[in-house]
Chain A
Amino acid sequence: MVSKMKITKSKAYKTFTNPIWGNNPVSIQMLGICSALAVTVQLKTAVVMSLSLALVVAFSSMIISLLRKHIPRDIRILVELAIIATLVIVADEFLRAFFYDISKQLSVFVGLIITNCIVMGRAEAFALSNPPHLAFVDGLGNGAGYGSVLVTVAFIRELLGSGKLFGFRVIPESLYAAGYEDMGFMLLAPAAFIIIGLLVWLQKSLARD
């Protein structure tokens, strides 16, 4: 019991959980919306994107935090961007050499990750003023916060839009025979906007109570 109290009160724990609910990068800070529209048609792509983003934010924040005392303030954004982009591309090259099939699945995400505002946002807002281990945990937490929104949106879109979850049909054929139809609108980007909007509404009204 005592040790549990310690964990929940530690700074690392708070750093990890805060971005998942109270300060969620997507639903509270409104970052990374573009990619949230693009990859939430299916659960599978949403999960892959969330995992990749969590790893990239964690490692780039850690490296930037390690260098935080040496980075000149006036060029810090350029430096951050160069570090993030190099990290992602080098990782992609390694995947292409040793895990070709994974890299094929990730290829289109690479660009989306580098330009994701969350990566830069965490570097600016957290990594520059905190020690490396906390920056790493913060990256993971933000990845999880981003992922939780993505997976929720993708769950709704894939279920209603194509009647599947993770590519497996869950809505039985008999229902289609009875006249049920997939909601084609769910496959289009505006559907993601509306779902994210509803999620933001839900979260804000829950947080107020």
Chain B
Amino acid sequence: MSDTLRSLLFSMVLCLVCGTLLTAASSGLKEIQQKNMTIDQRKNILKSVGLIREDQTYSGEEINRIYEQNIRRLIADHDGNVIQASSSNTKKEEKALPIYLYTTKAGAVEAYVIPVDTQGLWGKIYGYLALKNDGATIIGFTIYKHSETPGLGGEIEQNWFQQNFVGKKIIAPGGEFVSISIAKGKADGSAPKNRQANFVDGISGATLTGQFLTQGLKEILTSYEGVSVAFRNTEEYCRKSTDRPWCRK
């Protein structure tokens, strides 16, 4: 057998073996991986509204139980009207904005969670931003998937960075929407005095990741502004119509 033929045969067999292994691993394990991912997302939603603690470990069943007791998923439009109440994943529609409501046992809506899906420096960043029912105060921020450099931009997944967001505002003191920004360095060194509440401390060595995240959060919060306004002016909105779940009937 000639050398060329041998090389060809060998590479074909190699491709077949490697391809089979990869396909088998990918499709055979997909279901379990999907389940893990759903639990991880739910865990992050719960973490963002403060229902689970960072220093404790929870089993998948516990996560699902706490999630189902407290969180409701629904779809809103840009004006903050509820299009449909849905618990299953729906297709991405132009105007549909999924939100997660954290509802207490008494039925009052404590907070709403916005899914974050934005461009980072090296790839997509996925997470959740939880806002209090006043439509202005951030109560939690989590990241569950990203491809930033470990130790630099990768610090966005760390607790210390995410804790910076707690208590910050997405509106200026005058009440107008300004979004939340990641400062270059410490917030009290670079942000204007009266805008401290709209800036969080940045990560040293990860200025670009911060810029991408700032930009992404601004775009997302802008498209969700209708929902936030509906929360900010609950009384007025609920007088007009009570079809919003956060209006007490």
**Bound CA–CA A38/B22 (angstroms):** 28
Could you give, for residues 75-93 of chain A, a 1 whenever the CB lies within 8 Å of some chain B CB and a 0 otherwise?
1001100110110011001
Chain B CB within 8 A of A72 CB = yes
Give the residues in chain A near B151, CB-CB below 8 Å. Answer: 38-42, 45
Q: Contacts A70-B10, A74-B7, A89-B25 known; A109 to B204 CB distance under 8 Å?
A: no
Number of B interface residues in the complex (CB < 8 A): 30
Partner of B36, one of A74, A90, A97: A97
Q: Are B14 and A79 in contact (CB under 8 A)?
A: yes
Q: Are B33 and A86 in contact (CB under 8 A)?
A: no
Chain B CB within 8 A of A188 CB = yes
Chain A CB within 8 A of B21 CB = yes
Could you give, for residues 126-163 of chain B, a 1 whenever the CB lies within 8 Å of some chain A CB and a 0 otherwise?
00000000000000000011011111101000000000
Q: Contacts A90-B21, A96-B36, A97-B32 known; A79 to B10 CB distance under 8 Å?
A: yes
**Bound CA–CA A72/B12 (angstroms):** 12
Chain B CB within 8 A of A197 CB = no
Question: Who on chain A is nearest to B18 by CB?
Answer: A86
Could you give, for residues 41-85 of chain A, a 1 whenever the CB lies within 8 Å of some chain B CB and a 0 otherwise?
110010001000000000000000000001110110011001101
Give the residues in chain B near A79, CB-CB below 8 Å. Answer: 10-11, 14
Give the residues in chain B near A45, CB-CB below 8 Å. Answer: 150-151, 154
Give the residues in chain A near B152, CB-CB below 8 Å. Answer: 41, 187
Chain A CB within 8 A of B15 CB = yes
Chain B CB within 8 A of A206 CB = no
Chain B CB within 8 A of A125 CB = no
Compute the total of residue contacts between A and B using a CB distance below 8 Å. Answer: 82
**Bound CA–CA A108/B30 (angstroms):** 20
Give the residues in chain B near A75, CB-CB below 8 Å. Answer: 7, 10-11
Chain B CB within 8 A of A201 CB = no
**Bound CA–CA A184/B189 (angstroms):** 15
Question: Who on chain A is nearest to B13 by CB?
Answer: A70
**Bound CA–CA A21/B40 (angstroms):** 42
Chain A CB within 8 A of B55 CB = no
Task: Give min CB distance, A106 to chain B, whole Å.
Answer: 10
Q: Are B10 and A71 in contact (CB under 8 A)?
A: yes
Chain A CB within 8 A of B192 CB = no
A interface: dominant SS: helix
Q: Are B29 and A94 in contact (CB under 8 A)?
A: yes
Give the residues in chain B near A168, CB-CB below 8 Å. Answer: none
Chain A CB within 8 A of B239 CB = no
Task: Give min CB distance, B234 to chain A, whole Å.
Answer: 37
**Bound CA–CA A39/B153 (angstroms):** 11
Q: Are A100 and B36 in contact (CB under 8 A)?
A: yes
Give the residues in chain A near B25, CB-CB below 8 Å. Answer: 89-90, 93-94
**Bound CA–CA A160/B25 (angstroms):** 43
Chain B CB within 8 A of A8 CB = no
Partner of B29, one of A42, A96, A109, A162: A96
Task: Give min CB distance, B112 to chain A, whole Å.
Answer: 26
Give the residues in chain A near B61, CB-CB below 8 Å. Answer: none
Q: Are A78 and B150 in contact (CB under 8 A)?
A: no
Question: Who on chain B is nearest to A107 by CB?
Answer: B147
Residues 81-131 (chain A) with a chain B CB within 8 angstroms = 82-83, 85-86, 89-90, 93-94, 96-98, 100, 104, 107-109
Q: Are A39 and B3 in contact (CB under 8 A)?
A: no
Residues 185-202 (chain A) with a chain B CB within 8 angstroms = 187-188
Task: Give min CB distance, B99 to chain A, whole Å.
Answer: 25
Residues 183-212 (chain B) with a chain A CB within 8 angstroms = 204-205
Task: Give min CB distance, B189 to chain A, whole Å.
Answer: 13
Q: Are A108 and B32 in contact (CB under 8 A)?
A: no
**Bound CA–CA A72/B1 (angstroms):** 12
Task: Give min CB distance, B31 to chain A, whole Å.
Answer: 9
Q: With contacts A90-B21, A108-B150 known, what are 10 further pairs, Cβ within 8 A? A: A38-B151, A39-B150, A42-B150, A45-B150, A72-B6, A72-B7, A79-B11, A93-B33, A96-B33, A104-B144
5 contacts between A and B (CB under 8 A): A42-B150, A49-B150, A72-B6, A94-B25, A109-B150
